[in-house]
Amino acid sequence: MQTLLLELDSRGVARVVLARPAVLNAFDESMIAELSEVFTTLGAEPQVRVIVLTAEGRAFCAGADIAWMQRQSTNTFEANRADSGRFAEMLRLIDECPKPTLARISGDAFGGGVGLIAAADIAVSVNTARFAVSEARFGILPAVIGPYVVRSLGVRQAQRLAMTTALFSADEALRLGLVHEVAAPGALDSAVERTVVGLLRSGPTALAEIKKLYRRLASAELGVQLRDLTAETNARVRATDEAREGFAAFLAKRPPAWVRQ
């Protein structure tokens, strides 16, 4: 890979590292393609339990590479539509990855970098990071990342940030719901590790089912169909080998098989 680094530890924790620090880890067509490939592969790999998305250098991700965007601005509508579709598909693959995804934010995130964070399941940020939904400064809009930012922040806050392109702090990102925890620079890895350990205690099938179900719950009306969906999901998962192992381990006062000692 040209734009990413990939590490996998003995617990099944994969680290996907954005590795274009010279351009603040801004993404271009190559990084989009590599992120799509990596999340597809890791999502299908039984050995992988958790995916941590992080970055080299002083920024997490500055969004789209301006040189790439400038190249695209001279293309036909059809070429731009295909290119935007690849960007949208990359975010979908992160969002719908069956493995839990954790964004480790060690520096600033702007534009599409905010979209990467919003597409992850959990986000932990250093307290010095700054954020902005900055696309309108360049005469474009945060369309592709919009569904994920709206889901994370709500319509009015997402629209305000997109329209004003306001710079906001890690504490404000926490208040708005973009990130879930903020830590001092020296404590960031400890905060990330606590979350990883918590995820490793949970059954991997259960985590995949939670992700799939809760995304449907977010857009569904509370009614008969939703009640049926939740009851059927509960019944199906309760009868899995993983659930039987979880019940047996609790009664035997031992760790379940998926918790490595």
**Mean pLDDT of the region 28-55:** 97
- The residue ranking higher by pLDDT, 43 or 216, is 43
Rg (CA), the chain: 19
pLDDT tier for residue 19 given thresholds of 50, 70 and 90: very high
Q: What is the pLDDT of residue 148?
A: 92
| Phi-psi category of residue 63: left, alpha or beta, with phi > 0 → left and psi -120 to 50 → alpha | left
Percent of the chain with pLDDT over 90: 69
Q: Please tell me the predicted confidence (pLDDT) of residue 67.
A: 82
- Using the predicted structure, report yes or no on whether residue 109 has a pLDDT greater than 90: yes
The two structure tokens encoding residue 187: 């404590």
Mean pLDDT in residue range 141-147: 90
Q: What is the mean pLDDT of residues 245-261?
A: 86
Banded pLDDT at 222 (limits 50, 70, 90)? low
Q: How many residues does the chain have?
A: 261
Q: How many CA atoms lie within 13 A of 93 on its CB side?
A: 19
Amino acid at 233: T
Q: Tell whether the model's pLDDT for residue 171 goes beyond 80.
A: yes
Mean pLDDT across the chain: 92
Among residues 88, 83, 148, the alpha carbon closest in space to that of 120 is found at 148
Strands 13-18, 50-55: pairing is parallel
Question: Which comes out higher in pLDDT, residue 81 or 178?
Answer: 178
Q: According to the model, what pLDDT value does residue 251 have?
A: 84
Q: What token pair was written down for 91?
A: 């975010």
User: Which whole number is the average pLDDT over 8-28?
Assistant: 96
Is a pLDDT exceeding 70 seen at residue 219? yes
Three-state DSSP class for residue 95: helix
Higher per-residue confidence, 86 vs 225: 86
Q: What's residue 64's pLDDT?
A: 87
Mean pLDDT of 57-79: 85
pLDDT at site 184: 98
